Structure 1
């Protein structure tokens, strides 16, 4: 089937399904394959559950005229998304970065939705499957869209940019994450910088944290790329500072066009989120969102999904930040704990994954940094931290061992940071806190 014909079906039935457990009636079911499943085998079930058409790539699963046979289902999904994107005329903001991209995406959406009908990537659908699904969710009602793009190997941001074709872009930062896939920190910078390369080649506009030396170095390769600068120094178009973190952030910001100070009280914790807030301000101002609307949008935003999320239990106040962890996000989380105003601080850290050969050194660095912060208890969990155990802190090889220790020796009346890679399953610890 020609792409134009498939697109005609999509316009008639603009809902995409890839999982029969969540299928929607009158949708197009794309029979994707994974390491442990073959979507082709679910094509008939998808039709039984209400799919209008199924797209498969194995002839053995052909059913009837409702079956569309293609050479590669994933590639077809991507091509359909790119074709749909080519029909859209709205601004699309591409976001990538090592840390903070999901929070920044949500802050941008919170600001822009005060004025526009704004689409933003749901959850973290930011990879070679999630980006096409996000693009195909943008209908004619939306006036602007934000597409989050993640990567764990070189060339991925270039590919996703070709799909999303952003008119505007933002790299939050670059840090040491997924080093197994990127090869090195230089590999991280090269890959994230592929967004700058796309914008420069297509007369796009870039929002840049211009006090970040890595980003400034990366963008220098594209002198023609239009930059809108934000950060902490007064030479940026938008600049500001953290006023208070107790634990929620209050931030003051200025714009060069109007040097009157604006203050916003947020529901965010983590001093590292100050620059994400300033990014949202810069984007909002560029798209003519008023100062009042910007403040309202940021004040309304509440973080979720274990990303710098404040939880009050019967015994303690927790920062739940175990959606992901890497060397740079761990450093930022600890810097935040150092400035938070709290009497009894407890730090519980879990292993960082996918750091390759750099893993031993990076875990050792985190231990050293954590020990500079006055705490009533300092706990490290996981085999990588355990390899550096000493007598100055508590070390446990597994999350279950840490849970047992916390149950025997409970923590109360404390401000507790929980930070780890997702695979450490730190949510188990909440029952003891």
Structure 2
């Protein structure tokens, strides 16, 4: 049991104030993720952009009484708090969890590598859960913050731990090694992923190998030459250190001698048989996957099982039943105007907390519902386990619970504060449920794999045609942070969510941005802002194209209009006066040379008089648009615009008599013209993963994947034509795949007859014929084994929207905003 007093001794910190001895069970790093105040310890982390000490007051009022701080706190403001002062809160977090790890002597598996870490971790859990009480990293918690939160979960009842570790720059793995202290190591593979912070692959391998400095064994594949060389050098170095263990290398290879020598890989339908020699004994496994990544991940798991001494017949039986791993939380449109969050492959307290956080962000529906299975292997008594779950649901504002399973059903008395229904099995739920009972709600489907909750997901998801736009919310958050990292201290961020958030979905993106604390949102028209307000968005919203007919709605929903002419100013004055409001927030648009909208230099004096008259308005910001900030050839004109803006905004601000936010920088200007960041910047296309310049592209992640499927495959003889107008003729016997997308979905007709291409089975296939409204055809003659139902990538990670725009003779903006709303959006968080 930890208390503030014992933790202060562990950290050698100063116990500034002690008012009690509550047991500390949870570490809280994000004030928005508070679950159990009474047993939480808040550790405010400090970065260049954010100092979390500002949230101490808020959390104290919510009942948190234990704090580790690195800044002096006025203890008198928190008379019931225990406060520990340390030099650095991140280092304190690492030291505390490293101490916690040392209290356990169970085997600990540490996994690192470029790819496959989370899959290997989750498959090992599937393979070993019947033999051990296992604690593991939630989702892909493998960072300097994620690893401590993972290891803190270790409890006396655990018999095995599995943690993954990832690093983005040299020097980070030293910290993670002290926290994880793996006794068993797995190095999955090495590649170019996340390579930016390293000089070369060998430096990256050597940095990652630090994780296994005190391990008993390291499992890896010898076929990666750089990895194999680095491991052998590392092995020799470790052997010379004064430590009490000798690192054993357990290797596997498809090319050369190894402890596990792969001698055959036979893919058949949806399964793969892998044959090997182990200690001269022939062995084999079958896995229900055929892709190369899954084969490699399975062999790592196989080697680990052999190291643990598991019988080969047991390994064979369990390998054959490996299941898919949900690498992300998906949100899809559901029946009866609902949203479905699908997390139907595992159920434990750690991943439940993550899923509930994601559910809490969704405010577009008045009701939040959780469909939850029995939680397996918690190590707690059923009573205390489900009391804790009930507390989590209450804290997150869950109104409805559907419990499925014998254990959760026995503890129904724990859930009296939520509307709850219980079923003994998934089958019983599917037989008895009335789908009409689900109306206008956000529904989290969260179940252990054995409960097959994917069947529930299919029942509740709205049926739509098979063209979908997948939107990675984690990538958007990453891109926002990438731009924030280059902002000057104190510079605010306005995020553009106009035009259906560049095709990505206004509410869903705005909700994410609000969670990450952007300062302003911007929409094109008032109705977009009204929808955000209806859905629970409270962040300030600027309306860039206010129309007189929308002024009542703007005032009713506390939206902030852009005023760009005397005419629009006068009309809004009348509405504000009629509504009996004063100091209403507005934004003033200046025309500095783009000549689209905005006040000009000669308007400034009259404008200031009108804005100050009657006290009707409070100017929130003065701004302008750059016409060509991305083009080096236009830098002189950009400077002219900036100079005009500086002169005009200074004159207006002086006559207003108070300080006003000034902003002119768009996505390209943020990094090309850092001197124009001013008080705030407007982030648009860059947030969605596109740098119109190209210089900042490697810092961004792809956000959207537009995909569809093959509806039919036809073989046609040479000379036959394809599509309307018979404009495409086969020069040889050809194979044509018809796919489910057309110009009504946003795929432009100009891309017909070979101008556009799509990816099928990871190869490019040109468009054959003209684009129809709902369908188009691809020439897949050169791609083997294309079949009905195959996935087709229109644009995404390896076929960029920039490339598609280039083929179409347009810009990525037009492609993204032109995707029809009949295309189903699927949102996911990694």
Per the normalisation by structure 2, the TM-score is 0.39
Deviations for 1:331-360, whole angstroms, at most 9, x for unmatched residues?
Answer: xxxxxxxxxxx96598x9xxxxxxxxxxxx
Q: State which of 256, 260, 267 in structure 2 corresponds to 1:244.
A: 267
Q: Do residues 44 (structure 1) and 57 (structure 2) align?
A: yes
Indicate how the Cα distance of structure 1 residues 405 and 30 shifts in structure 2: closer, same or farther if over 3 A, else same: closer
- Indicate the residue corresponding to 2:223 in structure 1: 211
How far, CA to CA, are the matches of 2:201 and 2:176 in structure 1?
20
Q: Secondary structure at 2:54's aligned position in 1?
A: helix
Task: Could you tell me which runs of 5 or more consecutive residues in structure 2 were left unpaired when the two chains were aligned.
Answer: 1-7, 240-246, 330-344, 346-453, 476-688, 690-697, 699-711, 714-736, 742-758, 766-781
Q: Do residues 235 (structure 1) and 257 (structure 2) align?
A: yes
> How many Å apart are 1:276 and its aligned residue?
0.5
> How many Å apart are 1:300 and its aligned residue?
4.1
Q: State which of 21, 26, 49 in structure 2 corresponds to 1:15.
A: 26
Q: Give RMSD over aligned pairs.
A: 4.5
Q: Secondary structure at 1:217's aligned position in 2?
A: helix
How far, CA to CA, are the matches of 1:317 and 1:250 in structure 2?
29
How far, CA to CA, are the matches of 1:273 and 1:156 in structure 2?
28
Deviations for 1:171-192, whole angstroms, at most 9, x for unmatched residues?
Answer: 1111112333113334323322
Q: Secondary structure at 1:243's aligned position in 2?
A: strand
How far, CA to CA, are the matches of 1:129 and 1:15 in structure 2?
14
Q: Secondary structure at 1:193's aligned position in 2?
A: helix
> How many Å apart are 1:36 and its aligned residue?
4.3
> How many Å apart are 1:400 and its aligned residue?
7.6
Residue-pair matches, total: 375
Write out aligned runs for 1:99-114 (5 A). Answer: 99-114=115-130
How far, CA to CA, are the matches of 2:119 and 2:738 in structure 1?
25
> How many Å apart are 1:5 and its aligned residue?
7.8
> How many Å apart are 1:78 and its aligned residue?
0.6
> How many Å apart are 1:159 and its aligned residue?
2.9
Q: State which of 298, 323, 326 in structure 2 corresponds to 1:304.
A: 326
Question: Which structure's relative contact order is higher, taking Cα pairs within 8 Å and 6+ residues apart?
Answer: 1
How far, CA to CA, are the matches of 2:467 and 2:316 in structure 1?
26
How far, CA to CA, are the matches of 1:118 and 1:319 in structure 2?
36
How far, CA to CA, are the matches of 1:383 and 1:257 in structure 2?
41
> How many Å apart are 1:406 and its aligned residue?
7.6
8 Å contact 2:148–2:179 — kept in the other structure?
yes
Write out aligned runs for 1:8-407 (5 A). Answer: 12-23=23-34, 24=36, 25-60=38-73, 62=75, 63-64=78-79, 65-195=81-211, 198-199=212-213, 202=214, 204-221=216-233, 222-223=235-236, 224=239, 225-233=247-255, 235-240=257-262, 241-244=264-267, 246=269, 248-254=270-276, 256-257=278-279, 259-266=281-288, 268=289, 270-295=291-316, 297-298=318-319, 299-306=321-328, 315-316=465-466, 370-371=763-764, 374=783, 379-381=794-796, 385=800, 398=812, 401=815, 404=818
Q: Secondary structure at 1:40's aligned position in 2?
A: helix
8 Å contact 2:170–2:198 — kept in the other structure?
yes
Deviations for 1:3-31, whole angstroms, at most 9, x for unmatched residues?
Answer: 26889x99942221222332224122212
> How many Å apart are 1:381 and its aligned residue?
4.6
How far, CA to CA, are the matches of 1:11 and 1:184 in structure 2?
49
How far, CA to CA, are the matches of 1:176 and 1:27 in structure 2?
39
8 Å contact 2:41–2:66 — kept in the other structure?
yes
How far, CA to CA, are the matches of 2:183 and 2:809 in structure 1?
48
How far, CA to CA, are the matches of 2:287 and 2:467 in structure 1?
19
Deviations for 1:396-422, whole angstroms, at most 9, x for unmatched residues?
Answer: 8649825845879x89xxxxxxxxxxx
> How many Å apart are 1:269 and its aligned residue?
6.0
8 Å contact 1:3–1:80 — kept in the other structure?
yes
8 Å contact 2:468–2:826 — kept in the other structure?
no
Deviations for 1:144-196, whole angstroms, at most 9, x for unmatched residues?
Answer: 2111111111122233113322222111111112333113334323322333x
How far, CA to CA, are the matches of 2:464 and 2:804 in structure 1?
31
How far, CA to CA, are the matches of 1:175 and 1:345 in structure 2?
35
Per the normalisation by structure 1, the TM-score is 0.70
How far, CA to CA, are the matches of 1:74 and 1:80 in structure 2?
10
How far, CA to CA, are the matches of 1:304 and 1:191 in structure 2?
29
Task: Could you tell me which runs of 5 or more consecutive residues in structure 1 were left unpaired when the two chains were aligned.
Answer: 328-341, 349-365, 412-425
